[in-house]
Amino acid sequence: MMAAREDVEFEADGAVTLRGWLFLPDGPGPHPAITMAHGYAGVREHGLEPFARAFADAGFVVLLHDHRSFGASDGLPRQDIDPWQQIADWRRAISYLESRPEVTADRIGLWGTSYAGGHAIVLGATDRRLRAVVSQVPTISGYEQGLRRVAPDAVAGLEEFFSEDERARFRGAPPRTQAVVSSDPAVPASYRTQEAIDFYLQPKPEGVWENEVTVRSNRAARMYEPGTWIGRVSPTPLLMVVALSDTVTITELALAAYERALEPKRLQLVPGGHFDPYTTEFGQASAAALAWFREHLA
């Protein structure tokens, strides 16, 4: 029997309501639980429901929420990403799960992917309520990713783009925005590869996502270094799912970070690029995560 899905909401800091889907497995509870969230500038409709359903069908309560200022969640300005605010909000999601009568409160795991895979590392290192962590194709170093993804002759222009936004906001203007994905070199965008364009522009219900993110989100991403926390995740069990040809969060950075992690840990390699774990390699990526959660939560 397919797990039931219901809309839920919870307060992040008294002023902002976060919203998500709660998947409830069949059978009497309470059940172990998993908290999930999407990556950079995404929403829960970006390929995450199949993971949530796979976990829920295996007997886990699953909470999949939209980050602040994205999708169904509150937050202004819209389409704005502060990684440390997202991490603080995610702690509220853990507390919300603990409060649900269907949940075994001392058996909660966390699954994060891409940018949120970086958050998973930070939360695994700093929130001991978590009993297991899965970090899929994670951001490890915004600085190192930037060195590989931004051509050297484009860096000065990018820094001036950031500076113009800072000056405008000092004058009282709202944060400037750019596209999340675009194939047009004249349009400022976070991603330009066809695989990223296909992923972000995949069919979704109308109105749940905009191809827009604040410029300051891009600067924050280049400053974000979640890999520095990876040695502190232990003794919480950590699974890393790494794509062998990842040019977004960079395979070599993820493998080097995994070497710095302490036991208990496991590495699952999957073929393809950054977005393949959601599509062609979904079976392998989801099965590895499910096996990890079963081992450490069930």
Classify residue 4 by its DSSP letter.
Answer: E
CATH architecture of the domain 4-147+224-297 equals 3-Layer(aba) Sandwich (3.40)
Residue where the block lists tokens 């960079």 = 250
Beta strands in the chain (DSSP E): 4-11, 17-24, 31-37, 61-65, 103-113, 130-136, 177-181, 189-191, 213-214, 238-243, 265-270
Its pTM surpasses 0.95: yes
CA distance 204 to 228: 35
CA distance 270 to 43: 23
CA distance 199 to 177: 20
CA distance 193 to 249: 13
Per-residue pLDDT of the chain (298 residues; tens, 9 = 90+): 789 999 999 999 888 999 999 999 998 889 999 999 999 999 999 999 999 999 999 999 999 999 999 999 999 999 999 999 999 999 999 999 999 999 999 999 999 999 999 999 999 999 999 999 999 999 999 999 999 888 889 889 889 999 999 999 999 999 999 999 999 999 999 999 999 999 999 999 999 999 999 999 999 999 999 999 999 999 999 999 999 999 999 999 999 999 999 999 999 999 999 999 999 999 999 999 999 999 999 8
Q: How far is CA 254 from the centre of its chain?
A: 15
Where do the structural domains in the chain lie, given as residue ranges?
Answer: 4-147+224-297
Could you count the other beta carbons within 10 Å of the beta carbon of residue 95? 14
What sign does the dihedral 71-73-77-80 (CA atoms) show? negative
User: Which tokens in the block code for residue 211?
Assistant: 């191809």
- Residue 62 near residue 23 (C-beta atoms within 8 A): yes
